[in-house]
Amino acid sequence: MAGGVAQRGVALLTALLIVSLVTIVAVDLVVRQHFDIRRTANILETDQGYLYALGVESALTKLVQTYEQNKKYTDPKDLEMLNASSPFPVEGGVVAFHVDDMEGLFNINNIVNDNGVKDEKQFTLLIKIFGKVGMPLEVAGAALDWIDKDSDVTFPGGAEDGEYLGMQPAYRPPNRRMASASELLLVKGFKDKDPDLMKQRMEIFHWVTALPESGTKLNINSVSADVLTVILDTYAPAAVANVQTFLTDRKAKPVQDVTDKAAFQQLSLFNSLNANDVTTAANKLVEAQLFDIKTNYFMVSANSAVGQSNTQLSSLIMCAANCASTVVIARSQGTPGMF
């Protein structure tokens, strides 16, 4: 009798163990299925968001082309109108966008000419811009060596292969144009252990860009106040006080000629200057050939939110042949583009 009870006890324990194992397996399958469903949904939402962003890129590129084609000058009001739209709903989410004139920023690739040789005029402006964000003079020399074609170390602060091969991890300067302004993060001397100083230096990306060619000019109708101030401080210091007035005036009446000295002298940049100073300042700026009235490079930024997925796509667009055609030069996904 006692043996039978013992056997029934073993059978009960065995049954409980089997039920427990089946329950564990079932719960694990349900959890895995839940994760698979969520992962699949995330992939689908991410892909859907990316396709929305590509659609925005295509639509805005066409609109920019429509605004720019056969126009003598780039009208800042056109971009303002494009950027005035608030986020709009799409199936399953919402999309927002922004268009930026990239020739309103200083093109760091201008510090060398098409032959890969230093451009003194542009390099001087870069030094001044670096100074505005607390960057040592030496970093400008290292940036020049990063781009120029030779292996000669610029003084002061230059850096060629030997400097970078001694770092951990080791790498080499490419000796070509920067593909993105973010390459500055790799240039010797840019980084600093002081977080406050590093935060200040990161402001450089509001000043500079890296366009895929040298010799580009700043669009005087979109050049940022900071970059314009640096240029005026170099060529026409007396006009610095009129920057804000000029920025306001160009919205209502964009500049339509930067080659005619007499017309250039009429800009509100030179208000309150005496006649001799106006002539001298305007002539210097025209002769420096830093400005244009037409833009060839734009950045289109699209942000889409679908379900729990967020997608950010930044695209560098080039207008060719007076914007008769457009080309997507580069795309950056996940973070704001630093072209």
Model confidence, pTM = 0.85
SS3 assignment, position 306: strand
Distance (Å, rounded) from C-alpha 34 to C-alpha 112?
A: 56
**Residue 226: what are its φ and ψ, rounded to 5°?**
-65, -50
Judge contact between 145 and 173, C-beta under 8 A: yes
Domain boundaries, the chain: 116-199
At 16 the pLDDT is 83
Each residue's pLDDT tens digit, 29-74: 888 888 887 888 888 988 999 999 999 999 989 988 888 877 777 8
Burial class of 238 by CB neighbour count within 10 A (0 to 12, 13 to 18, 19+): middle
Average pLDDT over residues 234-258: 92
At 48 the pLDDT is 92
Structure confidence at residue 4 as a pLDDT band (50, 70, 90): low
State how beta strands 93-101 and 88-90 pair: antiparallel
Handedness of CA 212, 216, 222, 223 (dihedral sign): positive
Average pLDDT over residues 192-220: 92
Each residue's pLDDT tens digit, 124-139: 999 999 999 988 889 9
Joined tokens for residue 250? 């160009």
The region that residue 196 occupies, defined by phi over 0 for left and psi between -120 and 50 for alpha, beta otherwise, is alpha
**Residue 175: what are its φ and ψ, rounded to 5°?**
55, 50
Joined tokens for residue 102? 């990239």
Top-confidence residue, 272 or 301: 301
In the block, tokens 């201008």 appear at 110
At 5 the pLDDT is 55
Each residue's pLDDT tens digit, 150-166: 888 888 888 999 889 98
Joined tokens for residue 64? 């920019």
Res 20 pLDDT > 90: no
Tell me which residue of 162, 128, 156 sits closest to 141, measured CA to CA.
156
The count of C-alpha atoms lying within 13 angstroms of the C-alpha of 156, restricted to the half-sphere facing its C-beta, is: 5
CATH number of 116-199: 1.10.40.60
Distance (Å, rounded) from C-alpha 177 to C-alpha 51?
A: 31
Per the DSSP assignment, residues forming a β-bridge with 317 are: 298, 328
Q: Dihedral of the CA atoms 112, 187, 291, 286 (nearest 10)?
A: -60
Burial class of 155 by CB neighbour count within 10 A (0 to 12, 13 to 18, 19+): exposed
DSSP state of 118: B
